[in-house]
């Protein structure tokens, strides 16, 4: 039977035909074998194959470029489908039952990602309706689970589909874009996947080694594909993510993050990221050792293990200190919670420096506010997307995978902290200058810009006044009045300056 099943899941038409013929001579077939026959029926569906292969990014899936799904003779597809249909009919004579089994097997053939045009108005979102696929599959899950020990091909497909349901579709709530996310499906498929064996590493979509972000504004599209070390390493990461954010089982999440780190110690982060790519996969930050350590630090903070959290964040930063995802800001937040503001601020400064150098791409624009990956949290209500204007961000597209760190806002936070909290004028001054330069580079036709500009200018004037630099304070006050004639703070400072300088 083992050899017959290997032939059944082969990509060679003659082997499949011979296997089906021999299975047809068996008086009885167990449910697991019938489940594999249903999967094979879909695999040899020429209409489905043509549809999938016309999808641009389907060719980027591991199952395609490693040859899992490349039948050698599509001319034989109709006859193979017919023989498989006869085999299923013999053992499942009731049409509704047979149709339901075929519907369940669709999960392993129709969940693959497609080219996605969210945000451009070109389409309604993800094409695979994962919630519907799961609803068809769930009543038959025991049949397919029983087939896993019998079929290496099904194990590959199961692991792949579990990754797709989480990595690719987790950003969609159940009530949007045709209900593409299914929490029950992720729970079951991932829990089964992490205990399977795989002959080689499974990662449904290509991962790349670090690609530098060019200073010209565009992220290079090429890059060397990342060589994974284990069969299930990235699956451990995905299940840890799921345990963290959906099961709220933090101990289990930490255990699987550790398994991922042990299995994939060289899975370092990639700098490649596009704000508004048509392929949503490019807007998902890939799993990495840096990401795993960052999430572990976050979990330790929630558990009150602050020293363990600090070590995790420091280890994450050390993975690639120049990566825009290095969690400098999380370490800074932790130190501020512990009351050590002076130790925290250099980490925020480092975050600003790294983001300034990592110019990311938004359809060719070089952004002044560098985005950072939105660490997945289904409870979060705020999701940000780059709008038509390269400087504007709006809460509009729930599929977006970024939250924005305006580097200038980091400068303002640093300047205010040094000035108002630590009374370190020397450190505060350059950050106010950087923040004002940042504001000067932004559109000046909004009330928000004027409020930010006035607030920063008032702080800068107070700083130079406290330093005794009255001539600079006079220049800054006069400049403030030019952009905000009704401002009441600048005249008060000018009066103080005239009194002190005696003119």
pLDDT digits over 47-87, tens only?
Answer: 765 555 555 456 667 877 777 767 788 889 899 999 999 99
pLDDT at 222 over 70: no
Q: How much of the chain, in percent, has pLDDT values that exceed 90?
A: 48
The pLDDT of residue 356 is: 76
The pLDDT of residue 347 is: 96
DSSP 325: T
The pLDDT of residue 125 is: 42
Closest by CA to 455, choosing from 403, 412, 425, is: 412
The pLDDT of residue 113 is: 62
pLDDT at 189 over 90: yes
The pLDDT of residue 363 is: 44
Cα distances (angstroms) measured from residue 453 to each of 64, 362, 429: 53, 26, 15
Interval 370-428: pLDDT, tens: 555 455 666 655 444 443 333 333 333 444 444 555 677 889 999 999 999 999 999 99
The pLDDT of residue 179 is: 52
The better pLDDT of the pair 458, 170 is held by 458
The pLDDT of residue 128 is: 63
pLDDT at 282 over 60: no
Closest by CA to 344, choosing from 364, 325, 330, is: 330
What's the pLDDT band for 123 if we cut at 50, 70, 90?
very low
pLDDT at 256 over 50: yes
pLDDT at 220 over 60: no
Of 16-20, 117-121, 187-191, where does mean pLDDT reach its minimum?
Answer: 117-121
Contacts of 236 (CB under 8 A, 6+ apart): 194, 256, 257, 259, 260, 263
The pLDDT of residue 226 is: 84
Q: Looking at residues 207-219, what average pLDDT do you find? A: 56
The better pLDDT of the pair 464, 365 is held by 464
pLDDT at 173 over 80: no
Residue 67: Cβ within 10 Å count:
9
Mean of pLDDT over the chain? 81
Closest by CA to 157, choosing from 168, 142, 147, 169, is: 147
The pLDDT of residue 393 is: 36
Closest by CA to 213, choosing from 269, 271, 268, is: 271
Of 113-127, 142-156, 279-293, 332-346, where does mean pLDDT reach its minimum?
Answer: 113-127
Q: Looking at residues 355-362, what average pLDDT do you find? A: 62
What's the pLDDT band for 211 if we cut at 50, 70, 90?
low
Backbone angles phi, psi at 282, to 5 degrees: -70, -15
Contacts of 212 (CB under 8 A, 6+ apart): 220, 271
Closest by CA to 166, choosing from 228, 246, 55, 76, is: 246
pLDDT at 33 over 60: yes
Interval 112-121: pLDDT, tens: 765 444 433 3
């Amino acid at each position: 039977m083992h050899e017959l099943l290997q032939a059944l899941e082969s990509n060679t038409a003659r082997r499949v035909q011979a296997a089906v013929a021999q299975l047809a001579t068996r008086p009885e077939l167990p449910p697991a074998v019938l489940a594999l026959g249903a999967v094979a029926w879909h695999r040899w569906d020429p209409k489905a194959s043509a549809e999938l292969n016309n999808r641009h990014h389907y060719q980027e899936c591991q199952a395609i470029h490693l040859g899992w799904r490349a039948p050698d003779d599509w001319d034989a597809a109709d006859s193979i489908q017919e023989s498989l249909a006869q085999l299923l009919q013999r053992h499942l004579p009731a049409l509704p039952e047979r149709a339901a089994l075929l519907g369940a097997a669709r999960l392993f053939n129709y969940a693959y990602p497609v080219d996605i045009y969210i945000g451009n108005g070109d389409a309604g979102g993800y094409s695979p309706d994962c919630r519907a696929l799961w609803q068809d599959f769930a009543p038959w899950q025991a049949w397919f689970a029983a087939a896993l020990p019998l079929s290496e091909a099904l194990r590959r497909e199961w692991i792949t589909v579990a990754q797709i349901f989480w990595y690719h579709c987790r950003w969609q709530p159940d009530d949007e874009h045709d209900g593409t996310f299914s929490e029950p499906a992720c729970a079951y498929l991932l829990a089964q996947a992490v205990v399977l064996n795989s002959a080689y590493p499974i990662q449904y979509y290509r991962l790349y080694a670090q690609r530098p972000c060019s200073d010209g504004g565009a992220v290079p599209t090429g890059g060397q594909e990342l060589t994974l070390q284990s069969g299930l390493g990235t699956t451990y990461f995905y299940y840890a993510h799921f345990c963290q954010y959906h099961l709220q089982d933090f101990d289990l999440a930490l255990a699987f993050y550790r398994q991922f780190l042990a299995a994939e110690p060289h899975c370092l982060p990639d700098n490649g990221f596009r704000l508004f790519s048509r392929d949503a996969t490019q807007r998902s930050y890939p799993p990495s050792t840096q990401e795993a350590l960052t999430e572990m630090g976050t979990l330790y903070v929630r558990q009150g293990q602050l020293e363990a959290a600090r070590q995790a964040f420091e280890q994450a930063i050390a993975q690639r200190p120049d990566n825009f995802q290095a969690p400098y800001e999380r370490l800074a937040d932790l130190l501020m919670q512990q009351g050590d503001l002076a130790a925290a601020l250099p980490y925020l400064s480092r975050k600003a420096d790294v983001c300034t150098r990592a110019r990311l791409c938004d359809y060719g624009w070089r952004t002044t506010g560098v985005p950072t990956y939105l660490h997945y949290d289904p409870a979060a209500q705020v999701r940000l997307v780059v709008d038509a204007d390269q400087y504007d961000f709006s809460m509009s597209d729930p599929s977006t995978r970024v939250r924005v760190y305006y580097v200038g806002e980091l400068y303002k936070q640093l300047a205010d902290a040094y000035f108002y909290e630590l009374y370190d004028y020397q450190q505060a001054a350059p950050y106010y200058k950087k923040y004002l330069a940042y504001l000067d580079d932004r559109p000046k036709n909004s009330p928000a810009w004027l409020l930010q500009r006035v607030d920063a200018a008032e702080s800068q004037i107070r700083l130079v006044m406290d330093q005794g630099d009255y001539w600079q304070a006079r220049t800054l006050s006069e400049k403030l009045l030019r952009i905000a004639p009704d401002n009441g703070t600048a005249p008060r400072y000018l009066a103080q300056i005239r009194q002190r300088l005696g003119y």
